[in-house]
Chain A
Amino acid sequence: MRPLYRFLLRLHPPAFRERFGQEMVSIFDHSPDRWRLIADAAISATRQRYARPSFHPLTRGEAALLGVAMTSLSFLGFGFLVNDGVHRLNVSLRTQETAILDTLPGRRVVTQLFRDFRVLAAIDANHDNVLSAAELSQAEIALLALDRNHDGILAAGECTRTRNMKLRIGRFAEIAAVADPMAAMSLNPALAALDLDRDAVLSLDEIRQAGASLHRLDIDRDGELVPEELFSPAQFTLFGEALI
């Protein structure tokens, strides 16, 4: 993979390559996301050649090879994006931003997110990924059942599961899951709503007010909480990166 990365760097304009090439190879050598960096280098070469004032024309051979590389990566990228939850893809060479906008997440993604955030899985008694009015009314009882050490509070580790940063959905697509339970308490809207004093712990008082706290997330006032009301948009963005 390193020879491929170095080849893609050679497609950059000479001035850019001489100035930043060694640093980019250094980052490649230290990073585990080798395939992502290769895709980034291909996009970067195209952008530097065609979207920057310091345009340096390619030779015919380099243009042909870049065309083959970009076509191959385009098909590979299309494969990444085929999953249950994709509605629309917005790819811009100028902004280099790949994100799924205004999509409903796939059911498998949402189910996994519910499992990651134990408090939500506990309240969702029928496991339909929606917190109904009836389930919210029983939220206190559901949360008390999570208190494994019976100390009357729910620590961050009892509210969420600690996971690796990458979660495989299907063959290719990934979604970044929260690895740090403490961070999850503030990053996730539902946990943040429950943790009234923002101390990353759910006290007995906060557990007793769980139903009322979660009701504040009900944006459309229909009495139930759907995934769009429970999770932040960042948790539904495939790849999780910004390339602007």
Chain B
Amino acid sequence: MKPPGSTQQPLSPVTLHVLLALTSGDQHGYAIMQEVLRQSEGRYKLWPGTLYDNLQKLVREGWVHELGAKAGDDDPRRRYYRLTKQGASTLASEIDRLEAVVREAKVQLSNFKPRRT
């Protein structure tokens, strides 16, 4: 639940998808891109320029923690990222907000009567 008086701004779609992708565990950049594609059922393609632009912001915000390379990885250039508690809390608040929007939309659409043109 969002704390009373919370004024968190809506998250951008990329931020939302990246945080959501990291809920399944530590991931490197390419894996985040693939997870976003899977979660969006192929609708949302994230490219590296956008991904890392957002990751640098998310790390600065404290929502994502940069872990560095993992021992034993078949590509030592990969660096892994982890969702922080603050990031998880931010994501949860955003989900609450989106759920409220969907509830309102369903109520409004159920009363919607299209007009003949």
- B95 contacts the other chain (CB 8 A): no
- Which residues 198-242 in A have Cβ within 8 Å of B in the complex? 219-221, 234, 239-242
The CA of A239 and the CA of B46, in the complex, are separated in Å by 12
Q: How many residues of B contact A (CB 8 A)?
A: 28
A221 to B13 alpha-carbon distance, docked (Å): 33
Kindly identify which residue among B47, B78, B117 contacts A220, using a CB–CB cutoff of 8 Å. Answer: B117
CB distance from B105 to the nearest CB of A (A): 16
Of residues 64 to 110 in A, which have CB atoms within 8 Å of B's CB atoms?
A: 96
Interface CB pairs A-B, < 8 A, 19: A19-B52, A20-B29, A23-B29, A23-B52, A26-B78, A27-B29, A27-B33, A27-B48, A30-B30, A31-B30, A37-B48, A44-B50, A221-B116, A234-B43, A240-B43, A241-B46, A242-B13, A243-B46, A244-B13
Chain B, residues 74-85, CB within 8 Å of chain A (1/0): the string is 010111000000
Chain A: minimal CB distance from B17 (Å): 9
CB proximity of A239 to chain B, nearest CB, Å: 8
B42 interfacial by beta-carbon distance below 8 Å: yes
Please indicate the chain A residues that have their CB under 8 angstroms from the CB of B77 in the complex: 22-23, 25-26
Bound Cα distance A30, B12 (Å): 27
A22-B77, A25-B77, A27-B30 known; A242 vs B49 contact (CB < 8 Å): no
Q: Are A242 and B52 in contact (CB under 8 A)?
A: no
Q: Does B45 sit within 8 A of A, measured CB to CB?
A: yes
Does any Cβ of B come within 8 Å of A197's Cβ? no
Bin the interface of chain A by size: 35 or more
Q: Is the CB of B49 within 8 A of A244?
A: no
Residues in chain A near residue B33, CB distance under 8 A: 27
- Chain A residues contacting B46 (CB-CB under 8 Å) are 241-243
Is B41 among interface residues, defined by CB-CB distance under 8 A?
yes
Bound-complex Cα distance A187 to B12 (A)? 23
A194 at the interface (CB under 8 A from B): no
In the complex, A23→B48 CA distance in Å? Answer: 9
> In the complex, which residues of chain A have a beta carbon less than 8 angstroms from the beta carbon of B50?
40, 44, 96, 242-244
Taking the closest CB of chain B, its distance from the CB of A136, in whole angstroms, is 19
User: Using Cβ atoms and an 8 Å threshold, which residues of chain B touch A27?
Assistant: 29-30, 33, 48
